[in-house]
Structure 1
Amino acid sequence: MANRFPSGSGPSQRQLRVGELIRRRLSDVLLRGDVHDPELNRMSITVGEVRTSPDLKVATAFVMPLGGQGSDEALAALRRNRAELRRQVAKELTLKFAPEIRFAIDETFDRMDETRRLLNDETVRRDVDADGDDDPADDARPD
């Protein structure tokens, strides 16, 4: 069945559902230390999101080590153990193919901090307050 939506319309419900299933399973595997790598097992890694390709053959897991420290070491350990992680995740999934799992650092928290910093900037606050004074709904009300 052909995709009726343009490529920029976002992920399908199936992609979102499979991504969430992979995220949960991957989190469980990392939490329990099911992979036999002492370096990986000593790290506390959060799996924030998993995005899948439209054909569900590639899943990109966005991860962050606890406290944000040691991101490079965490990525190296995850990539070194990607075959075992793929096998562990695939055990619980009922998909035709076990997706290839790729890892990337989750920058969501950094972007949220930057957005908060910008919104708290005095110039931005002044502009937002000034825009609130020019409410067109006030002009439409009868006196």
Structure 2
Amino acid sequence: MATVLADEIDILAKAKRSVGDEYYPGDDEPYMCEAHLDYFRKLLLAWKKSILDAAAGTLQQLQDGPIREPDLNDRASSETDWGIELRTRDRQRKLIAKIDSALRRIEEGEYGFCEVSGEPIGLGRLAARPIATMTVEAQEAHERREKVSRED
């Protein structure tokens, strides 16, 4: 699980590098001004492209042929690795849906605002998690309610 999250963070970091260092949203500008929206749009599109590129590589490896390890232990290890890889790609498929949702929110003028309270999410949180839909406080409250309902 930790490696899947690390892969997701690495892909986001790669997307941030591809957007470039010429601009970074700052608190000295009006919140979610056109420059902020443009930055996050580029970041989300670059993140999506990185995920799709990684998925294409996985697909190519799958098409190259089945696992043909003569040793049963090696074969089991390879099949486990493939299972993890496929689960990672499934998580990334779901992440692409969230990225598309964030891009839609940018176009509709809703990006950067909490879906629960309507308050600004904050540039720091959006920089760390560009698909965030809630403020930290709203997310924590949501997770507490979710935990309580699971325990019931």
The TM-score normalised by the length of structure 1 is 0.29
Q: Radius of gyration: which is bigger?
A: 1
Q: Which has the higher strand share?
A: 1
Q: Which has the higher helix share?
A: 2
